[in-house]
Amino acid sequence: MTNTILITGTSSGYGKATAELFHSRGWNVIATMRQPDPATFGSDSDRIRVLPLDVTNEDSIAALIGSVGPVDALVNNAGVGGVGAFEAMPMSLIRALIETNTIGVMAMCRAVIPQMRERRSGTIVNVTSSATLTPFPLAAAYTATKQAIEGFTGSLAHELGHFGVRVKLVEPGYAPTTRFGANALVPVERLLPGEYADFARPILEAFARPALTTEVDDVAEAVWNAVHDSEGQLRFPAGQDAVMLAQAT
């Protein structure tokens, strides 16, 4: 029987690459996004279902889970960005980051846990960030949303391990080729008051010319390894920069 994986946030970047990798290796793929576009995966998508999902909406989650049947793996990849001086971030932005990056992940886990627990099998992979591996300036609120999932995932792995369900973390590094900047809820320029200009300039310049980066395929492969891990490994850093940071901590 062919395994089925459900992946959130597959319109581009890590999610799209992960969907394509699992499809190429024989899995059925449920690829979700806020605004579904079947053309995302071209014509060779006989085992890919592209479905709508808003991880911040309980009705949207319930409708999806009710329509797709059993899933063998869930990858919580959907996320939004927010970079800038913390004091310049309105609380509405901070709450929006938490709603998607933290509560959205938890809500998706709650939605699939009952079926996995009953079958005593399945894997949940939560995608966080290398920002959890070392302090990054201008990313305080964003990092907080991802650090919350790091702690959540470690605890949940113990909780669900009793039922044969595995829970993993994939920690991508910095990938300039993804749409992370485009997915930022507020452009960074609007979140950098003049008082921060001298501080922010070298940081933004370094991000424009990174020494080491992460490719989307690095993340897809890390998700594959996490889903198929049988050694009890919790964390899977993805990309040269993330691996280097993980080794240094």
Q: What is the pLDDT of residue 137?
A: 92
Whether 182 shows a pLDDT value over 60: the answer reads: no
Residues 6+ apart with CB under 8 A from 170: 125, 126, 127, 128, 219, 222, 223, 226, 236, 238
CA distance 246 to 238: 10
Cβ proximity of 116 and 67 under 8 Å: no
Q: What is the pLDDT of residue 185?
A: 67
- Which residues are marked as active site? 142
Taking the complete model, does pTM exceed 0.85, yes or no?
Answer: yes
Q: Structural domains in the chain?
A: 4-248 (3.40.50.720)
pLDDT confidence band for 183 (50 / 70 / 90): low
Residues 6+ apart with CB under 8 A from 37: 11, 50
Length of the chain (residues): 249
pLDDT tens for 72-121 read 999 999 999 989 999 999 999 999 999 999 999 999 999 999 999 999 99
CA distance 30 to 10: 9
- The arithmetic mean of pLDDT across residues 154-175, rounded, is 96
pLDDT tens for 128-145 read 999 999 998 999 999 999
Whether 206 shows a pLDDT value over 90: the answer reads: no
Residues 6+ apart with CB under 8 A from 39: none
Whether 225 shows a pLDDT value over 80: the answer reads: yes
